Chain A
Amino acid sequence: MEKDGRKSIVVILFVIIVLLIGAATYLVYTKFSDLGSYNCASYSIKYVRNWTVDKKSDTSINFNHQSESTMKLDIRTLEEKNIKSTDEIINSFLDYIDRNTGYKLISKENTTNTKNNYDGASFLYEYNDENILYIIGTKYNKVFLFCYKSKILSFDILLDSVLNTIYNLNIKGDL
């Protein structure tokens, strides 16, 4: 009996220790981590905590930075009749940009810089005293447009945290 009691205490202690480690791990990875996260039905994303979430929904999320820089992600699900190739979507995007005079394309890359390697491209524009990075990508019937906008002076400095954010984008749902 005494032996059983001792055994129970050991088990309880073990459970408590496991719970404590779990709680500590959770705290480290949430409250005290450099990374925050947002998870919803259509996507999940992790972001560096020097950015704050401004608005969020199942189709978009906006971030602000104290430097007056912004990050914005929009995700759209295309109806079957509107499904286009990634190239066509990119062309539509470029047509849209072309109609907005003053945007000056200064760099382009045929990658979305995402860990899931979503098909798409990145475009860096200059507009007045701002740099604007657009990343447009597709996954099946979903299209996402990510936009990072910042004053030119601070653009590069925040770029690492921005690329970390888009890298961690996970679009949910299959065909």
Chain B
Amino acid sequence: MKKVFSVLVAFLFIMVCSASAKETTLKDINLDNNFESKIASYFQNDTKKVYTTPTNEIEVRNLTNNIVSLLFSRVDTDRVQLLKYIEEPSSVKEIQTLYNTIYDRKESLVSINYTNVYEANNYYISICDIDTSLGHFTLNVLLDKTDKDYKLLNIMYDVKSTLNTYSASVIDLENTGEKSKVLYATDYSNFKIDETNIVTKLANIYTFYSSSSIYFKSYANNNIVSSAKGFLICSGVAVTTWNFLKEALLNKAEIIVSSERNLTYVIDGIVDIDVNNDIVIIKLTNNQTNYTSIYKDITLEDGKTVLSLGSKGSYFNSLTPGILLSHENTLLSYLPIVESEQGSLLFDNEGRIIGMNTSIIKDNFFSVAIPNSYLLDIQNKYKYMDFASIPSTKLDEVEKNYKSYNTTDEANINDINISLYEAYRSVGNIEENIALPLIKVGNYYDYVSFRFKNANSKELSSISYSTTYQNQLAKDGFKVVTKKKDKIIYERKDYRVAIMDILDYLVVIVEGIK
């Protein structure tokens, strides 16, 4: 009886294992051999050609070194959508090995596991671990969730060298005056590019918007403090993120505005700031500029391709494709951009502007953009205005108004009375004598608090940054009344000053003694 029971348990165990293994079999991915062989051939083909579809001409130009890899979205068994460029280098050989491993040599595949599945709306993004008889590799995949399992929607491949060779050959051809396009060979007649024709769109975006896309960088002590993309929304009027400007103001940094063609623009002043939407409108001194056309009434659909015209290294434009996940109020996309790409334009798969990426990037995968309707309102407001009459506030004025109001990544507090602030900051000349960025100013009755961020708190205690300030207090007649490792209190007949090391902050509280 005991033996029978053991056998039953073993049987059940095997059944359970089989069921769970089902999630990780190739069958669930349901890739098509025919499709794959076409893709493989595509890469093996002579890279000196520019491919076109029988019906839709594709002419790819100037896809320079910035664009380093491709994402294929498999639309159905016989269609492929070229979606994504990412920066990880990889060789054609690796890709072919990958394809061969996945498609032609099914028997060599050991297991596929979706690890670290991120959920975003109805989509799931995962690093897919694939074990084969040839080795282990990973793929970034976009998944949809069914009742029992994940369904594969997109796979992302890296093919840097292919594209580099390809774009170089296109440029060579163009230099020799030859028109760089050929038709597909007949054996590719069934190979359909998705009708959104994303390659053309990429080229168009790159060509048309590069001239109105601009770079913002701020420098202090010869170091870059912050960088962002932005664009010209009207002649002589640019927009970027408030986060960029805020960082620059906090660090008293000099702002340089330039285009990819090395044109440098001079900021005349700040037209408007919308902290909640993370946007700042900037007036330049030169109004002889291109500007970006913003479309009205664009219907958005979650799950569709979006493209960001960013700049990975802050020097050249680069396109990053992603997927729109939601579009209520703000746009949430699966779009792995970096912080220097805040302020970059976001396009739909028709190459139309649908928004501007803000500084909010979540988990390195998800980015938040403000929608084009908001941008259109800005454009309509200033487009027809006489350039000279567009009001702006000089940068140093803006700095004066904002530097006392805190910031960095933390909330803006703007309701402390300025005269109170001025009176309390003069005690020991606090801002001049503490070499840390002031990020918050608080107030409660006769107390005013100053919170400074110490990014090096692990190496240097925050208190150590207050030495000059303490010397100034001593010079001004303050006496030490309490001294501990993380707290020092000074007192004079009119003020009491507490200097504290808390978390990674230096907090100074000045109390007015009546």
Contacts and interface: CB of A to CB of B under 8 A. Distances in A.
Contacts of B500: 159-160
B447 interface: yes
Interface string A106-131: 11110000000000001010100100
Interface string B433-460: 0000000101110010111000000000
A153 B503 contact: no
Interface size class of A (residues with CB under 8 A): 20 to 34
B449 A152 contact: no
Contacts of A108: 503
Contact of B444 (A67, A109, A124): A67
A61 interface: no
Interface in A16-55: none
B413 A153 contact: yes
Contact of B503 (A104, A124, A126, A157): A124
B413 A106 contact: no
A87 interface: no
Contacts of A163: 502
Interface in B487-514: 487, 498, 500, 502-505, 507, 509
B504 A152 contact: no
Interface in A123-163: 124, 126, 129, 152-160, 163
A174 to B, nearest CB: 29
A157 B410 contact: no
A126 B444 contact: no
Nearest to B411: A126
B409 A106 contact: yes
Interface residues of B, number: 23
A156 B411 contact: no
Interface in B393-417: 409-411, 413, 415-416
Contact of B507 (A106, A152, A159): A159
A153 B498 contact: no
Interface in B47-100: none
A126 to B, nearest CB: 5
Contacts of A157: 442-444, 447, 449, 509
B411 A129 contact: yes
Interface in B252-279: none
B410 A126 contact: yes
| Candidate in B416, B450, B503 with the most chain A CB atoms within 10 angstroms | B503
A90 to B, nearest CB: 16
Nearest to B510: A157
Given A153-B415, A160-B498, A107 B505 contact: yes
Contacts of B443: 153-154, 157
15 contacts: A104-B409, A106-B410, A107-B504, A107-B505, A126-B411, A152-B411, A152-B440, A153-B444, A156-B449, A156-B509, A157-B442, A157-B509, A158-B444, A159-B500, A160-B498
Given A106-B410, A107-B503, A157-B443, 17 more contacts: A107-B504, A109-B504, A126-B410, A126-B411, A129-B411, A153-B413, A154-B443, A155-B442, A155-B449, A156-B451, A157-B444, A157-B447, A157-B509, A158-B444, A159-B500, A160-B498, A160-B509
